Amino acid sequence: MINHQFSPNLFQSDAPFSHLTRLGDIGFTAGIIGQCPTGGSLVSSDVRAQTEQMMQNLAQLLTEVGLDFSCLLKATIYLTDYADFESINEVYASFLPTPYPARTTVQTAGLPLGAKVQIESVVTFESTE
């Protein structure tokens, strides 16, 4: 059975998606941006601030399902400008324990709300049960 999680602590979008879906020991997060959980706007136009909030939002979601960043198997980072790659990496790495999960980084033409960075991830529930 597939389990769907829509976090009450992240922005309550009307869009048709779940923040996380789980099948067995594997979970998939939706794309998460540096969005203010209460108002829904981006926390800043600064890519570092957006990345920090994005990672805090992901941490919140993981905590709600009994996980932390050590449970990340793979992350996909979407960015709108590769000039921001190093800044994003610095903030991203500050949240994660080593060894880091597998990751793909993709430059895209646009992201929701004009965000500069977005993350989606694959997680495991195996170590938490």
List the CATH number of the domain containing 24: 3.30.1330.40
Residues 93, 54: Cα–Cα separation, whole Å: 13
User: Which two three-digit tokens encode residue 46?
Assistant: 């600064």
Note down the domain range covering 96.
2-10+19-128
Instruction: State the pLDDT at residue 14.
Output: 87
Residues of the chain short of pLDDT 70, as ranges, are: 127-129
Residues 28, 124: Cα–Cα separation, whole Å: 9
Residues 56, 61: Cα–Cα separation, whole Å: 9
Instruction: State the pLDDT at residue 13.
Output: 87
Instruction: State the pLDDT at residue 26.
Output: 98
Number of domains in the chain: 1
Tell me which DSSP letter residue 27 carries: E
End-to-end Cα distance, the chain: 17
